[in-house]
Structure formats: C-alpha cells, structure tokens
Amino acid sequence: MPDVVIIGAGPAGIFAALTLLEEGVSDILLVDRGRDIEQRECPARKNQQGCVHCTPCALLTGWGGAGAFSDGKLTLTTEVGGFLGELIPTVELQELIRLADAKYLKYGAPETVHGGSNRAVRRLKALARKAEMELIEMEVRHLGTENCYRVLQRMRQDLDGRVEIHTETRVTQIQAERGVVQGVHTEAGEFIPARYVISAPGRIGADWIRDETRRLGLEAIPSPVDIGLRVELPAAVMEEITATTYESKLIYYSRTFDDKVRTFCMNPYGEVVSEYVGDIMTVNGHSYAEKKTDNTNFALLVSTLFTEPFDDPIAYGRYISRLANLLGRGVIVQRLGDLADGRRSTPARIARSSVKPTLESATPGDLSFVLPYRYIKDITEMLAALDQIAPGVNSRHTLLYGVEVKFYSHRIEVDRNMETRIGNLFAVGDGAGVTRGLIQASVSGMLAGRAIARNTRKPRKRSPRKSPKVQR
C-alpha cells in the first residue's frame, strides 16, 4: 500500500512528487491516463495531417500534462495564474513561486526573465490606461515549446526509480469512508489503497473531477468559462509590447456590455495550432525558443459566469466549440475586415491578406455564425482599444481563429494545504479549479506535498490489521 497516490502527471502532480521526496516521503505512486513522455506523439502534428482522434489525446494527457506541448510560460507573479493568493498570504505565495521557478531552472529552464517593473513597462501601462485597459505588471520566464518538453523529460528521468510511475492508467473513482480517503479505483478494475490521495487530473480532467466532487459530496464553486478568438497579425505590429513584456496581460471591460475581456497566451513570432479536447477541436498558440515565424498570435477571451438556472460552463463551452467544428469542419479563420463587413472569408480573400495564416488547415468562414453577438462585440471593442497602443491591430487583414475555449473545473473547496473536507484527500492544479497556469499549479503540488510530509512525521497508532493488497 503506497503512502501517497497522485492522480495526474502534470506540473501539479510532478511537483507534489518532487516535494514529497525532498521531505522524506518515498512510498509514492504516480498515475496518469496518458502515455509516458517518450511515447507521447501527436500523429496530426508529425504528419501535418488532420487529427486522428487518439484516445487519450497525446497532446493533453500523459507525462507532463498539457504543459509538455505548451510553450512553457512561467508567470512569476501572485496576481496571475490562479487563486492561491486567496488561500495563503501573498508574501508566502511569492516565496513558493520563487522556489518553484528555481526547480524549473534546475531542470534546464532558460535564465532570461521578461517584463517586471521598469520604465518601458510603466510607459506601456500608462498607454493602456489611456485606452481604457489595465496592464498587469509581471515577470515571465519563457521556456519555448521545445524546451518545455526537455525540462519535463529531465524531471521524469530524475523521478525514475524513486517514484512508482504508472502511465496509461485511468483512475475512475476516489474511495472515501467516514470522511477519510481510502484509495482509488482504476479502469482496469483495481482498487489501490492509500493513506493519502492527491487529485491532480489537469484541465482535461474537468468533467471527471466535477462528477467525483458531486459524488463525494464536496463543495465546489462554478468557475467562469472563457470563450473567444485567437488573433494573428504581423509580429512587427506587437513588437513594442512583446519586446517589453513578452507575455502581456491586458484587461478591458467592454463599453456595450461591461464584460471582462483579456489577452491570453501571447506568442511573439509564434504559430497558431489546433488541439482536441475530447471530441471537439479548439485553437491555441505556441512560440518556440529557436524557430520563428513572421507573426504574433494571442487570444482574446471573454469571461462568463453562469449561476442559475444553468450552471454548467463546461457544457456551454463545448456547445460553442461543436458549432464551430460543424460549420468549419474544425477551426474557422476569418479576416477582421470580412467580419466587420458581415461577409465570410473565402480562400481567395485569405490568400489576398497581408497576414499569412500559420494554421494552414483552418477553414475560411464566418465566425459570426458561431459566437453570440455579445462576444463578437466585446472582442471587436478590445481590438479597437488595442489599436491605440499598437497601431495595426485593428487592421482589416488581421486574422481571427475560432474558437478558443478554456475549460476550467469547478473550484473545489480546499484549505491552505490544498486538503479537501475529506481527510487526506488533496486537490491541486488546474483540475481542482484553484490554478490556471504552470507556476501556481506547481506551487499547489508543493503545498500538498509539504502538508502530507508533516503528517507522516507525526507519531501514529499502528493498526493490528494487515495492510490490504491491491484488489482486482
């Protein structure tokens, strides 16, 4: 019987395992539904063809989680990337972020840090305020897609032989009795007993953790759903912003609806990519440390919180995504000028654009048939605001890809140690709804690992019964 079972080998699960080992806890089982990092390969990206619907998706599951194929932005601030600042003091969180960042450096993250607070950033912040936007000052360490994979690969090699790792192992249920966790059940029909369970299924596990939360009677707060478009334009248009901050977090409240719109995942000289979340295709963006394109891309997302009578933001996001897939047979691309003129983009119009799409498989179409008018209005208003600080953003040649949806799990009620109301059951990372990025996900794993280590050092009474074996 392992002391600790960790569900999910993304950043939260990995950092939980690393912390447990540092604190002297070595009887650890780490399971993930996807493949090991060496076997994670997306056929669509390898062969430059359409998705073949791998089960589970090689991009979003497996060792390293969805982060293994992301461009690896580490936002080194307490204000971005999650809600841990509501659970622990800001000073403590900042120190944990520093420690997590040091671990990434240990495993090969580049030393360069972008942004921070300097004259150029303060000037950009002033310009943003004149355009009715707020720029969040932050430091960003950019790994790059190829480096992110290498860093996670080194973490895997370091844990090899020290932690028992089972990939291609799907946990179906968490078992608890009398308010205390007992272990987990797997799809193979096994019951694995454990003193502690850390649930870190990542964003891909949003549906599963939502159902488990309800079944176990845990409290959870509905999270907003972020729906929007990915914007692609010449890198020169955004050069002043990206050279100053690399990843800029700009927030705007639309004049018409007073909705919150924000920039997300900015990729200087990057490329737009598609990804599958279950049975739906969405759009995303990457930037590499070495390979460069002529374009910059970023998402504009509108946050919507549903309460009553409808409170399932994940279902709404899936509905919008499926509609885009139905009309475009995947990702739709449209010129901003065509959207403004109320006409669809065609292959000929896209070919005439001064911006050449980096996602060549996207289907020219009309995004107004997909997104509600409210979202279109919010996004076009923010593009006009952005044009004031980066002239050229609101060009008729700017490309819009849709849709981009961020599925966030319901936020599970946890204490400052990430422990739920069920004793010895911890919920960490994006899957628990408490984080929204690599760094805070990593920190949440560290918090759970430290708490478990403290508990295992306490003297406990020995049960006269033998420890149960794994049952089939």
Residues 118 and 234 in one domain: no
300 and 380 both lie in a single domain? yes
Residue 24 CA to residue 19 CA, distance in Å, equals 9
- Predicted confidence at residue 122, as pLDDT, reads 93
Q: Mark whether 279 and 151 lie in a shared domain.
A: no
Instruction: Give the number of other CB atoms < 10 A from CB of residue 144.
Output: 22
CATH code where residue 444 lies: 3.50.50.60
Q: What is the pTM of this model?
A: 0.88
DSSP string for residues in 319-345: HHHHHHHHHHSS-EEEEHHHHHTT---
Range of the domain at 375: 225-406
Tell me whether residue 130 is in a domain: no
| 280 and 247 within one domain | yes
Question: Dmax of the chain from CA atoms?
Answer: 78
What pairs with residue 399 in β-bridges?
Answer: 232, 335
pLDDT score recorded for residue 408: 77
Task: Let me know if residue 374 belongs to a domain.
Answer: yes
Asked if 305 and 430 sit in the same domain, the reply is: no
What is the total residue count of the chain?
472
The predicted structure's pLDDT at residue 51:
63
- Residues 192, 238 share a domain: no
pLDDT tens for the chain, 472 residues long, are 789 999 999 999 999 999 999 999 999 999 999 999 988 887 766 665 556 667 777 778 899 988 777 888 999 999 889 999 999 999 999 999 999 999 999 999 999 999 888 899 999 999 999 999 999 989 999 998 889 989 999 999 999 999 999 999 999 999 999 999 999 999 999 999 999 999 999 988 888 998 999 999 998 887 788 999 999 999 999 999 999 999 899 999 999 999 999 999 999 999 999 888 778 889 999 988 788 999 999 999 999 888 778 877 888 999 999 999 999 989 999 999 999 999 999 999 999 999 999 999 999 999 999 999 999 999 999 999 999 999 999 999 999 999 999 877 778 999 999 999 999 999 999 988 899 899 999 999 999 999 999 998 776 544 443 433 434 3
Look at residue 463 in the predicted model and tell me its pLDDT. Answer: 42
Q: What are phi and psi of 350, to 5 degrees?
A: -65, -40
Q: Are residues 191 and 238 in the same domain?
A: no
